[in-house]
Amino acid sequence: MPIRRPVVADPALAALLAELRLVHVAAGEPTVRDLAVRSGGRISRDTVHRVLAADRVPRWRNLELVVLALGGDVDRFHELWVAARAAEVEQR
């Protein structure tokens, strides 16, 4: 099943999601099942899907596990996540 990629208005969230898409593609676009397995069962397939198809800022721990499963740079994603989360809080 293809992962739905929503369009988001917030630039910080858009940057986070764009970077996540790039890492996913660079990793060969593994399935949500593969990523759940790569996480050692610490994250479910449904949660992986919600992170990859996010239209809002995911929880840090869930994003971190997906990034680790993809072999991405956790520090870089933490910076992007903090910026997106701060922008989300400001909009409330």
pLDDT tens string 1-42: 556 666 667 899 999 999 999 999 999 999 999 999 999 999
Q: Nearest-CA neighbor of 54 among 85, 86, 92?
A: 85
**Nearest 5°: CA angle at 46, between 42 and 47?**
55
Q: Convert the pLDDT of each residue in 38-89 to its tens digit.
A: 999 999 999 999 999 988 999 999 999 999 999 999 999 999 999 999 998 8
User: Which long-range contacts does 37-45 make (Cβ < 8 Å, 24+ apart)?
Assistant: 38/69, 39/65, 39/66, 39/68, 39/69, 43/69
The domain 11-90 is classified under which CATH number: 1.20.58, 1.10.260, 1.10.3470, 3.30.450? 1.10.260
Distance CA 83, CA 28 (A): 27
